[in-house]
Structures are given as C-alpha cells and as structure tokens.
A = this chain, B = another copy of it.
Amino acid sequence: MATIKDVAKLAGVSPSTVSRVIAGSNRISLETKNRVQRAMEQLNYVPNAIARSLARSHTHTIGFALSRRADQAFSNPFFSEVMRGMSTVAQARGYNILLSISLNPEDELSKCLQLVRERRVDGLILSTSRVKDPLIAALSEEEAPFVVIGRCMERPVLSVNNDNVKAGYNATVHLLEEGYREIAYLSGASDLVVTIDRMNGYKQALIERGLPLVEERIGVADFSEQDGYEALCQMKERGVSLDAVVASDDLLALGALQFAERYGLRVPEDLGVVGFNDTPLMVYTHPPLTSVRILSYELGVEAMDLLIDALENPDKKRLKKEIVLPSELIVRGSSRRRGKAE
C-alpha cells in the first residue's frame, strides 16, 4: 500500500507538497500539482485516515449510542430511519458513523466514555434521554461534544426533539373530540423523557377540558405489546374504567388492541386507541391504528448537522441549540367513531 512518501518520490517532490495537493492548497504550481496527481493515480494512492486523524487530532467519526432496550423498544423502523438520516448527512459532510449498541444504560455510559476518551470519535449522538441521565451528565463533565435525540431536563444541551407534549396533547384532544371520556395513558419506562412529555400533553388536554385526571388510568410499561396488554388488564382488574388509550408507542397500542380482544371490546366503538411513531406495518392491524407520525429521518438529519456544526465551529460550541420538529396525528380506524352507529 502506497504512502505519501512513495507518491512524493515518484513525483519528485517532498511529502509536504503531496500533502498540499491533497488538501487542495492554492499556492502550488499547476504543473507540480498535475505531476503529483498522476503519481497518486499511478500508485493508486489513498491517504491513510488513521495517520491523518493522528496528525490533525480529530477522526471525522461520530459515535451513535443505542442501548438495547431502546433498540428492542422500537422494533419499529424508528431507529433505522434516524440512522438513515444521520448517515445521509455524515456522508455528505465527510464523516463516518461508529455504532455503539449496549445492553443497558450502564454499559452505554462506559462504552460512550471509552469512545470519547480513546479519541475514537469526535462527538456522539445519543438516541434517547432520561430524567437525570447519567450519560448526559458524564459527557457534559467530560466536555465531549454530543447531541441528544430527545430533550434534557436538567441542563442546556444540543438536542433534536419532536414536539412530544403537543403530540400527546393532540392525540388526547382527538380522542376527546371523538367522544371518549375515560382516556388512559400507557407510558414507557418512566424515566424516559419522551414518554413523560407525551404524558404531560395528555394531562394538559384533560385538564383543559375540565376532565378529572385519574392517576389509576396511567399505566407504566416497557415498550412491548405484552407489557402494554398487561398494564391495561391490571387497570381493568382494579376496577378502573376506560374507553380509550393513548399509548406512547405503537407496540403498546398493539397491546391495547390485544386487551380489547381479551375483554371483548370493539375498537373503536368501545375502546379508542392511538399510538406513537406511525410504524408502517400498523396499517395492517384491525382496525388500522391511529398514530402520531414522527419525522424520524429528519431527526437523524438534524442531529448530525447540529453536531457537525458544533464540531466545526468551536466558537458556536457554547450555544446549546435545541431543535424541535413537528409531528402529525394520522387518524385511522382505531380511534374514529364519530358518525358511526353506536
């Protein structure tokens, strides 16, 4: 494998000259430039990225942290889409993506710190955020550049989020307008900021319409259909009445559908259901699932752009920008009973 020296030798110049034509320096004669380029082609020369990184002390690599719970949570294409978005930008701006999948938040923390301290990545993108997130705290202390997909409640950070409060609010209002009154909320892991925000939107809608906020109608479940199903069954068995469910994830909404089946409830007549993420396959549930569409691809795009901007403009680094992307409620059969025969 040819090195910069080989090229220099062949072209009859010094390595630094070669380095200059690679960098596209303008103070270089057209003639030697051509000569060098010919030599590079002839030797099939490609600069060694590692050596470059060492010399310039940055890697042009971004780490993406995914903890397994998050991963399985969204066995829907949410993260695939985010990654596609990130990847598009990374590609365009000359960056690479290093993947870090962990089994739990503790591992995630140590692996991310490792990546940063080893200087393997220039910055990190975090896939979710929790209340008092230790990872965010550690990274902040380390002064490592990072952006979180989600929101940080404790301190200003670079972040890209969707309007979860509003989305939760809209979903709930929609159910109210369809005539549902006893609306339950299915939360994901209770320390995830997303699910808390969505819940707050839900609460806000109820309060605004003067409806009672029944704590027993709020169920906490891991992001899985099974858990969603069980949470609702427990509610029912405790004698809590409900005629609709706002589920903070489509998988949980699926659990709600199962729950309806178990108790012989008709959807949407007896139970209205709305989920989150608008997972493509949810079109095929019976009835098709109403869901909040999240701009996951765009989330990835914005996150990567934000991080690279911060990286490349050290002056702006201190400005902790927070981007919020809109969501859209996609109404389908699972929540539309207005005008239907009762």
- Chain A residues at the B interface, C-beta cutoff of 8 Å: 1, 44, 46-51, 53-54, 59, 61, 64, 68, 71, 75, 77, 79-80, 83-84, 87, 91, 96-102, 111, 114-115, 117-120, 254, 257, 279-282, 284-286
> Looking across the interface, which residue of chain B has its beta carbon closest to that of A251?
B281
**Complex formed: what's the CA distance from A175 to B120 in Å?**
52
Min CB distance A98 to B, Å, is: 6
Whether the Cβ atoms of B77 and A101 lie closer than 8 Å is no
| Residue in chain B with minimal CB distance to A56 | B50
Q: Contacts A54-B54, A75-B77, A286-B286: A98 and B96 contacting too (C-beta < 8 A)?
A: yes
Q: Quick one: which of B53, B80, B97, B119 contacts A71, CB cutoff 8 A?
A: B80
Closest 6 CB pairs of A and B: A49-B118, A46-B117, A87-B101, A97-B99, A75-B77, A49-B120
Question: Told that A49-B119, A79-B80 touch, could you supply 4 new A-B pairs with CB distance under 8 A?
Answer: A75-B77, A80-B80, A83-B99, A98-B99
On chain B, the residues within 8 Å of A50 by CB distance are: 50, 53-54, 59, 118-120
* Contact (A119, B87) CB under 8 Å given A77-B75, A80-B75, A99-B99: no
CA distance A84 to B103 in the complex (A): 9
6 pairs of residues in contact across A and B, judged by CB atoms under 8 Å: A50-B50, A50-B54, A50-B59, A50-B119, A83-B101, A91-B102
Q: How many protomers of this protein does the assembly include? A: 2
- In Å, the complex CA distance between A51 and B53 comes to 9
Which of A51, A87, A96, A111: most chain B Cβ within 10 A? A96
Contacts of A120 in B (CB 8 A): 49-50, 96
Q: Which chain B residue lies CB-closest to A254?
A: B284
Q: How far is the CA of A225 from the CA of B79 in the complex (A)?
A: 21
**Shortest beta-carbon distance from A307 to chain B in Å:** 15
Task: Tell me which residues across on chain B come within 8 A of A54, comparing CB atoms.
Answer: 48, 50-51, 54
**Residues in B whose Cβ lies below 8 Å from that of A101:** 83-84, 87, 91
Find the B residue at minimum CB distance from A84.
Answer: B101
Given the complex, which residues of B lie within 8 Å of A71, measured CB to CB?
A: 80, 84
Pick from B46, B87, B117, B284: contact of A114, CB under 8 Å: B46
Return chain B residues, CB-CB under 8 Å to A68.
84
Q: A225 CB to closest chain B CB, in angstroms? A: 8
Instruction: Check B119–A1 contact: CB distance below 8 A.
Output: yes
For the complex, what is the distance from the CA of A91 to the CA of B65, rounded to whole Å?
Answer: 13
Instruction: Report chain B residues within 8 Å CB of A79.
Output: 80
The residue among A50, A75, A114, A117 with the most chain B CB atoms within 10 A of its own CB is: A50
* A98 neighbours in B (Cβ, 8 Å): 61, 96-99
**A51 — nearest CB in chain B belongs to which residue?**
B54
